[in-house]
Structure 1
Amino acid sequence: MTAEPPPPPPAPSSTSAVRRARLAFRNWRRTRPFWAAVWTALGGFVIFFLPMAPLGKILQVGVGGIAGMAGGVVLMAMALLVLLLPSQRHTAGVIAVIAGVASFPLSNLGGLFVGMALSVLGGSMAFAWLPEKPVGRRRVRLGRGTA
């Protein structure tokens, strides 16, 4: 009678690692205004890259092209700020809305209205977002005694 060694533990499958990563990302995403940052960054991307053209076209566009690129960079920075510092969401949301509206006269009608609309949507979502309150104990109201 020989004792057989116990079988080795099963190797962790890649699906469990992917699932853990997905759940960790979901938990992180729910603690900040994720979709507000996505819409703001997308609006900034459209406003930033719409004036991009060959050098001859940029020289014809002039200051409008530079203002559009600067507005797009500001919007993408506000999206990162909203993601990384959710406590600053009010300031970043207001700046994103102002930069989105300012892109209308400064940069090809605000990225042909698409970039402006996305940045205003994202900025207003960031301003309105509230963190989820943790589930706490129920408060017991003490009634007035009839003594």
Structure 2
Amino acid sequence: MSEIGVPVGPPDPSHPEPARTASHRAPPGVTAWRAWRGWRRSRPFWGGLFVLLGGVEILLTVWAPLGVVLHVGIQSFIGYVVPIVLVLCGLLLWFHPVQRVFYSLIAIVCALGSWLTSNMGGFLVGLLLALVGGALAFAWTPSEPAGTEA
């Protein structure tokens, strides 16, 4: 060390790195973006998003005007339950990714069941969104942390 406290030569590994000052920190937007990216990559985000969008689309077609509705009657209660379960599966895929296989299978079964109960699966758009999302969530695997390769 020199007289003013500036290190001279290579850093000593036995001493911890000094605390960073405010001028060395990343801007708040950058750290928020990194936190968002880390959260998104730690779960089947796109699968959950597609399942959620499929459920919302099917739910909106159930509320369609009567001239557009194709199935009315006993199936109307199930027509509301199936898209609500799809929306819940999409949210659970985001917030409880450990059980992603179970939620994705439930989403796929509900999406297929929406063909009969909810205006042909939201006029086929919601059905396809939920099926693709369920398949993406089923196929998603968490990435291994760096340095854990065998």
Taking structure 2 as the reference length, the TM-score comes to 0.74
Counterpart residue identity of residue 83, structure 1: W
- 2-side partners of 1:136 and 1:119: how far apart? 35
Deviation string for 1:108-146 (max 9, x for gaps)?
00000000001011111111100001122665xxxxxxx
Residue 109 of structure 1 corresponds to 120
- 2-side partners of 1:56 and 1:112: how far apart? 14
| Partner SS for 1:50 | helix
What stretches of structure 2 of length at least 5 have no aligned partner?
1-20
What stretches of structure 1 of length at least 5 have no aligned partner?
1-8, 140-147
How many equivalent residue pairs?
127
- The structure with the greater share of residues assigned to helix is 1
Q: How does 1:64-143 map to 2 (within 5 A)?
A: 64-136=75-147
Q: How does 1:56-67 map to 2 (within 5 A)?
A: 61-67=72-78
Q: 1:65 offset after TM fit, Å?
A: 3.5
- 2-side partners of 1:53 and 1:96: how far apart? 22
Q: CA RMSD in A?
A: 2.7
Identity percentage of aligned residues: 37
Taking structure 1 as the reference length, the TM-score comes to 0.76
Deviation string for 1:21-60 (max 9, x for gaps)?
11110111110000000000000001111111468988x9
